[in-house]
Amino acid sequence: MLLLAIFAAATQTWVLRDCGRGLFSTCAEANKQSIGWIKAVEDVLDISHRTSSVPIEGIQAISIASFVLLNMEGFTRRTKALFNMALNLSRDLGLHYLDHPSNAQSANSAQTEIGRRVWWYLVATDWIIPAMRFNGGLQGYYNCHPRHMLVRKPLNVNDEDVIDGMSCIDQPLSQPTTMSFTLQRLRSSEISRRMVDRTPLMMGRAGGPSHDVVMDIDTEYQTLLNDTPPFFSMPVADLTTTYQLSPSRAANIAHQGYMLYSLIHAQRCTLHFPYFSRSFADPAYASSRDICLRSARLVIQTESQLENSKTAATRYRFLAFLVAVFMASIVVLMDLCYDKAPCQQEQHRGELAEAIRILEQARHESETAARFLDSLMHILRKHKVLPPKRTQLGWQVNSFRVG
């Protein structure tokens, strides 16, 4: 089952440079196979679930399959069903109490450490989902309560160091490892969980959390940014020399740094968006407007930097980053229509043109990106904002006009 899920992920993220391997002649040929591999995972899962217990490798397979499906279809019922199945099976396997005193003898085994990684990946995903589709707290909830688990956080160690009998090998967070991104993502998800805790459902239906709560949560995101290890913002060459990493591992760390910053900026943008729109009528929310707009700009800048780094040919396959760019575009567009200052207009036009260029480039590799671009162009026309003209050199920024 795990191999089937890996095949699904490989074919879903297959890009032009991979065609040189000779396995597929075109990206489209590879991408079309992904849904078939997902169906194969579901079929094997159905049989094994009815006839025997599903091992940890099966839970890993379901987790991968749900992630692939999320990027292909969005957070559909099918995606949620797979993810919830992974959570339920992980509890059946006892992953939620791996560090209970009764399991002390196996605490330092490789199998237990892998179990911690699987469990906390699922928990972080469960917690982070409300932040990624946050709409003022409406229907925000999670399934994994901290008091209903007894599992230590994964160690900050490289994969090759996970062996039976390991002890006292945990690296400081300032040292890059293959787990660095996962641990930072987990910290981000904890902020998302606390946001849900402070936003009861009744408040969600009344318009979301108070502005004071939003600012408190934003302070936590700012602290996370301040505490992020510096290696996540270093170029590959500096990572190689400073930390004695191989070029491939340094490239992975650099790519993960872009992903991490894009994720956090998108979450801050989403957090402040309800008050961003209100700030046009009420200056009391000006701080949310500033943070939301700044975060939107950073999302676009980070995506542009990632493209220039040449480290992530598969970035357009990930739904979260396409959603982030689209939402950042909406924020910039709203501010463009509101702020008539010439200096701000020029900056907004450049940022919006860059976002359109990113989505235009992504539409050839992602149907979701194509839909986002079409929606953005429709919104531009609806608000009488003439889109930039496309030339051989790119998008012509000065052609933007606000009606």
Least confident span in 35-44, 179-188, 216-225, 353-362: 353-362
CA distances from 66 to 37, 62, 143 (A): 12, 6, 16
pLDDT at 196 over 50: yes
Q: Rounded CA gap, 64 and 38, in Å?
A: 10
Burial of 260 (0-12, 13-18, 19+ CB in 10 A): buried
- The predicted pLDDT at position 391 comes to 57
Look at residues 120, 127, 254 and name the one whose alpha carbon lies nearest to residue 188.
Answer: 127
DSSP letter (8 states) at residue 153: P
| Proportion of the chain above pLDDT 90, given as a percent | 59
Mean pLDDT of all residues in 362-389: 82
User: CA 53, 9, 42, 179 torsion: positive or negative?
Assistant: positive
User: Long-range contacts of range 129-132, CB-CB < 8 Å, 24 or more positions apart?
Assistant: 129/75, 129/192, 130/192, 130/195, 130/196, 131/188, 131/189, 131/191, 131/192, 131/195, 131/267, 131/270, 131/271, 132/266, 132/267, 132/270, 132/320, 132/323
pLDDT tier, 135 (very low <50, low <70, confident <90, very high otherwise): very low
Q: Rounded CA gap, 273 and 299, in Å?
A: 14
Q: Rounded CA gap, 245 and 271, in Å?
A: 36
pTM (2 decimals)?
Answer: 0.91
DSSP letter (8 states) at residue 230: G
Mean pLDDT of all residues in 385-395: 60
CA distances from 382 to 274, 296, 337, 376, 379 (A): 21, 21, 12, 10, 5
Higher pLDDT, 387 or 55: 55
Here the tokens at position 40 are 């194969």
pLDDT at 166 over 80: no
- The predicted pLDDT at position 400 comes to 56
- The predicted pLDDT at position 17 comes to 79
C-alpha 118, offset from chain centre? 17
Q: Which residues are CB-neighbours of 307 under 8 A, at least 6 positions away? A: 315, 358, 361
R_g of the chain, CA atoms, integer Å:
22
Task: Check if the beta carbon of residue 251 is closer than 8 Å to that of residue 259.
Answer: no
How many residues are listed for the chain in this entry?
403
**For residue 166, which amino acid is it?**
M
The 10 Å Cβ neighbour count of residue 73 is 15
Look at residues 382, 391, 376 and name the one whose alpha carbon lies nearest to residue 332.
Answer: 376
Helix (H) or strand (E) holding 390: strand 389-391
Look at residues 266, 279, 268, 152 and name the one whose alpha carbon lies nearest to residue 220.
Answer: 268
pLDDT tier, 98 (very low <50, low <70, confident <90, very high otherwise): very high
In tens, the pLDDT along 236-289 reads: 999 999 999 999 999 999 999 999 999 999 999 999 999 998 998 899 999 999
Higher pLDDT, 196 or 243: 243
In tens, the pLDDT along 66-95 reads: 999 999 988 889 999 999 999 999 999 999
pLDDT at 346 over 50: yes
Task: Check if the beta carbon of residue 379 is closer than 8 Å to that of residue 330.
Answer: yes
Q: Rounded CA gap, 144 and 221, in Å?
A: 21
pLDDT at 119 over 90: yes
Q: Is 172 left (phi over 0), alpha (psi -120 to 50) or beta?
A: beta
Mean pLDDT of all residues in 200-213: 71
pLDDT at 139 over 70: no
- The predicted pLDDT at position 19 comes to 81
Place of tokens 């961003």: 276
pLDDT at 385 over 80: no
- The predicted pLDDT at position 206 comes to 57
